[in-house]
Amino acid sequence: DVNATGITRQEALCRVSLDGVPVTAVTLMADIIDNLSSIIIETGGNNATGFYKKYGDGTLEVYGRKPLFLDVTTAYGSLFRTAIATTIPYPTGAVFDLTNCIPVVTVSAKDALIQRYQDSTANDFSIYAIKPTSSLNQSLTFEWMAKGRWKP
């Protein structure tokens, strides 16, 4: 109760929840801050290969865009795909390991699909572009994102 006499606990900073006059909850800010570590960005950066964000709880996000012109001409069942896999590097400049990550990749063309060629390594991943029709010098932009850990 707000009108109660005497102090039973004193903290430097608290969040007090009120329902009219009675106090319904007192939460220590230290507890709130501990819960925010997953959304607080400790550091981030970018370079020619993409962007990265390191969160306080050890989560790592990397993402980027890669525009390419590819020949999608190799028969693949009733479809066509690129003859060789396209390797997309993760951003450099930060210490992290994305070996066990599965990147999420989208492609700009409405009639194109992505086939993952190899699992993620610490430095990159590889994909094929697949289309229902053969096309030379096809303009495709790959947008990708992967999550991993930068600290245990």
Annotate 62-81 with b (16+ C-beta within 10 A) or e (fewer): bbbebeeebebeeeeeeebb
- Predicted pLDDT at 11: 46
Give yes or no for a contact between 129 and 110, defined as CB atoms under 8 angstroms apart: no
pLDDT single digits (tens) 30-47: 666 565 656 677 788 888
Residue ranges in the chain assigned as alpha helix (H)? 29-35
pLDDT single digits (tens) 91-120: 865 556 676 677 888 888 878 888 877 666
Strands 59-76 and 79-82: antiparallel
Nearest Cα to Cα of residue 124 among 152, 144, 138: 144
- Predicted pLDDT at 36: 61
Give the H/E segment covering residue 54.
strand 50-55
Give the H/E segment covering residue 104.
strand 104-107
